[in-house]
Amino acid sequence: MRNLENKIEQKIKNTIKKYRLLNKSDKIVTAASGGKDSTVILYLLKKFGYNVSALHINLHLGKYSDRCQEAVQELCKQQDIKLHVVDIKKYFGTRMCYIRQGVQQNTNVSNCMVCGIVKKWLLNKEARKLGADKIVTGHHLDDESQTIIMNFLQGNLMLGANSGPETGSLKDKKFVPRIKPLYFIPEKDIKEYSLAKKLPVIYEKCQCAVSSLRIKVRAFMQNKPAETKEKIVNNFLKILPRLKKQLHQQKIIYCDICGEPSRNEICKKCELLNLNNTK
């Protein structure tokens, strides 16, 4: 097991170095869900000596959300990490299920898509308030290779133009760069690491993650070896500079409703939620 631990830790350090993801002086906020991936990277960034705090969004998905928040609290207590908790009810007056139901009355956007857009919006706004230089997420090799295949199946690789180990193409004072130090680490290795270190982790999946394209792609990719997933991300990284160049031609403006950075007059979150009271 020590071998796997060393291998993972070294691989993450190499990714951070190769892609210049972090500096020791950076103020880092890790988006911590209570799941294994963000827990492992939060634990490791602290172990590596970075200036890291945790940001957890409580989505109020019943007891599941309580357990997730408790797990993050436990890790932060154990490792002496400052924790910030954002309550979705305080922002939107209600729990994630109701937000989604409202959205889905008018559109057929999947549960995970609504939740993902709202979380991204909240993470950027809250991390900026905390003065963060970088937001770290727990996205790993399996997530990233699935996303590339999903974008391909949807006939639009440009959807991934802002991805890669760093979301480098959006440069704006209101936008906190998001980075993914686990970009090249297979999910099963992260799980093994979290178990070996006995980290407080919620392993159960979110009950709301149903019928999205991701679930179908995940099933399709499940038994593919890590080398295949590595090939997918590495080949995508070769074309990414060209996609980013195209993306750079678009300007970043601020959403007319919430004032957050956006590519269009109304940001994705406000377009979906049709809210006007969250500025």
Q: According to CB under 6 A, which one of 8, 21, 29, 33 is a site residue for ligand AMP?
A: 33
Query: How many other CB atoms sit within 10 Å of the CB of residue 134?
Result: 21
What's the min distance (Å) between Cβ of 270 and Zn ion? 3
191 binds ligand AMP (CB under 6 A): no
Cα distance between residue 143 and residue 190, in whole Å = 12
Q: According to CB under 6 A, which one of 15, 53, 110, 137 is a site residue for ligand AMP?
A: 137
257 binds, among Zn ion, ligand AMP, none (CB under 5 to 8 A by kind): Zn ion
Q: 231: helix, coil or strand?
A: helix
What's the min distance (Å) between Cβ of 143 and ligand AMP? 6
45 binds, among Zn ion, ligand AMP, none (CB under 5 to 8 A by kind): none
15-23, 135-143, 188-196, 258-266 -> range binding ligand AMP (CB under 6 A): 135-143
Residue pair 136/165 in contact by the 8 Å Cβ criterion: no
Residue pair 61/96 in contact by the 8 Å Cβ criterion: yes
Residue 59 or 243: which CB sits closer to ligand AMP?
59
Residue pair 42/30 in contact by the 8 Å Cβ criterion: yes
Residue 246 or 276: which CB sits closer to Zn ion?
276
DSSP-based helix, strand, coil % in the chain, nearest 5: 55, 10, 35
What's the min distance (Å) between Cβ of 175 and Zn ion? 13
Q: Which residues bind Zn ion (CB under 5 A)?
A: 255, 257-258, 267, 270
Cα distance between residue 88 and residue 86, in whole Å = 6
Which of 33, 210, 215, 206 is closest to 104 using CA atoms?
210
258 binds, among Zn ion, ligand AMP, none (CB under 5 to 8 A by kind): Zn ion
Cα distance between residue 126 and residue 224, in whole Å = 37
Q: Which residue is listed with tokens 């999947």?
A: 110
176 binds ligand AMP (CB under 6 A): no
Beta bridge partners of 254: 261
229 binds, among ligand AMP, Zn ion, none (CB under 5 to 8 A by kind): none
Cα distance between residue 119 and residue 260, in whole Å = 13
Q: According to CB under 6 A, which one of 46, 60, 100, 119 is a site residue for ligand AMP?
A: 119
What's the min distance (Å) between Cβ of 256 and ligand AMP? 27
What's the min distance (Å) between Cβ of 276 and Zn ion? 9
Q: Which of residues 52-81 bind ligand AMP (CB under 6 A)?
A: 55-57, 59
For Cα atoms 208, 113, 195, give the angle at the middle one, nearest 5 degrees.
Answer: 55
Beta bridge partners of 84: 55
What's the min distance (Å) between Cβ of 273 and Zn ion? 9
200 binds ligand AMP (CB under 6 A): no
Binding site for ligand AMP (CB under 6 A): 31-33, 37-38, 55-57, 59, 116, 119, 137-139
